[in-house]
C-alpha cells in the first residue's frame, strides 16, 4: 500500500504537543505501520531585541501538522487511523473538501521536505522588521540620533542601508539592523 502526506488542522500554538499526543496514541494502538512520519515544519530565526541575540524555531505553518499515512487502493485513510486522529485532543480535522481528506501534491511534499532539510543544515535566518521606505532613527554608531529612510535590506548579512540627510546631502549609510529603530 502507498503512503501519502495529509495536513491536519490543530489548535494554534499546540502543534508540538498535539503531535506528541498523536504519536503516543499511535504507539498505544500499535498503528506505527500505518504512519511513516508526523511533522511540524519549522525554520530557524535569529532576532536581536534589546541588544540580545536570540535564535529560535518558528513554525512555518502555524496551526497545522503534516502526517504521512498509509492509504488503501482508492486513496482512502483506513477507518481505525481516521478515528484515532479525529479523537486525539487538539486535532480539528483534515484539510480537504466535504469531510474528505485531500492528500498533499508531490510538489508541495517535496517543497516542504526540502525546506525542512534546508533549515536543519543552514544557519539561522535573521529576522529584520524593516522594509524599503520605512522611516527609522539611528540609535547607535557615528550617526546616532539621525533620522533616515530605509533604502535596502540585506537579511543574509543583517544589514540595512539607510539614506540620511548629512549637511543637506542625501547620504546612504549601511548599518546593522539592530542599530536602527522604527519611528
Q: Are residues 112 and 160 in the same domain?
A: no
Per-residue pLDDT tens over the stretch 113-142: 888 777 766 666 666 788 899 999 998 888
d(CA 75, CA 33): 17
CATH code of the domain in which 155 resides: 2.30.30.30
Q: Are residues 122 and 103 in the same domain?
A: yes
For the entire predicted model, the pTM comes to 0.67
Burial of residue 109 (CB within 10 Å: 0-12, 13-18, 19+) is middle
Closest CA to 68 of 19, 103, 94, 93: 103
Q: Are residues 28 and 109 in the same domain?
A: yes
Per-residue pLDDT at 22: 94
Q: Are residues 158 and 105 in the same domain?
A: no
Q: Are residues 81 and 107 in the same domain?
A: yes
Name the 3-class secondary structure at 79. Answer: helix
- What percent of the chain shows pLDDT beyond 70? 92
100, 126, 152 - which closes a domain: 126
Work out the number of other CB atoms within 10 angstroms of the CB of residue 81.
20
The residues of the chain scoring below 70 in pLDDT are: 1, 48-52, 120-127
Per-residue pLDDT at 64: 94
Per-residue pLDDT at 74: 87
Q: How many domains does the chain fold into?
A: 2
Per-residue pLDDT at 122: 66
CATH code of the domain in which 36 resides: 3.30.70.940
d(CA 6, CA 75): 11
Domain that holds residue 30: 3-126
Per-residue pLDDT at 51: 60
Per-residue pLDDT at 49: 64
Q: Are residues 110 and 175 in the same domain?
A: no
Per-residue pLDDT at 48: 66
Beta-carbon-side half-sphere exposure of residue 179 (alpha carbons within 13 Å): 20
Per-residue pLDDT tens over the stretch 30-40: 999 999 889 99
d(CA 169, CA 171): 6
Burial of residue 23 (CB within 10 Å: 0-12, 13-18, 19+) is middle
Amino acid at each position: 500500500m502507498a503512503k501519502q502526506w495529509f495536513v491536519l488542522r490543530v489548535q494554534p500554538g499546540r502543534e508540538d504537543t498535539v503531535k506528541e499526543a498523536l504519536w503516543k496514541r499511535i504507539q498505544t494502538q500499535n498503528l506505527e505501520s500505518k504512519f511513516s512520519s508526523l511533522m511540524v515544519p519549522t525554520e530557524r530565526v535569529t532576532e536581536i531585541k534589546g541588544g540580545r541575540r536570540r535564535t529560535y524555531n518558528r513554525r512555518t505553518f502555524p496551526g497545522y501538522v503534516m502526517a504521512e499515512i498509509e492509504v488503501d487502493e482508492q486513496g482512502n485513510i483506513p477507518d481505525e487511523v481516521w478515528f484515532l486522529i479525529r479523537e486525539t485532543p487538539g486535532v480539528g480535522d483534515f484539510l480537504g473538501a466535504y469531510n474528505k481528506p485531500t492528500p498533499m501534491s508531490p510538489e508541495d511534499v517535496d517543497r516542504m521536505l526540502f525546506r525542512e532539510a534546508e533549515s536543519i543544515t543552514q544557519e539561522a535566518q535573521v529576522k529584520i522588521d524593516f522594509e524599503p521606505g520605512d522611516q527609522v532613527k539611528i540609535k547607535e554608531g557615528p550617526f546616532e540620533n539621525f533620522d533616515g529612510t530605509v533604502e535596502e535590506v540585506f537579511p543574509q548579512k543583517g544589514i540595512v542601508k539607510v539614506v540620511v540627510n548629512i549637511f543637506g546631502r542625501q547620504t546612504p549609510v549601511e548599518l546593522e539592523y539592530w542599530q536602527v529603530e522604527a519611528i
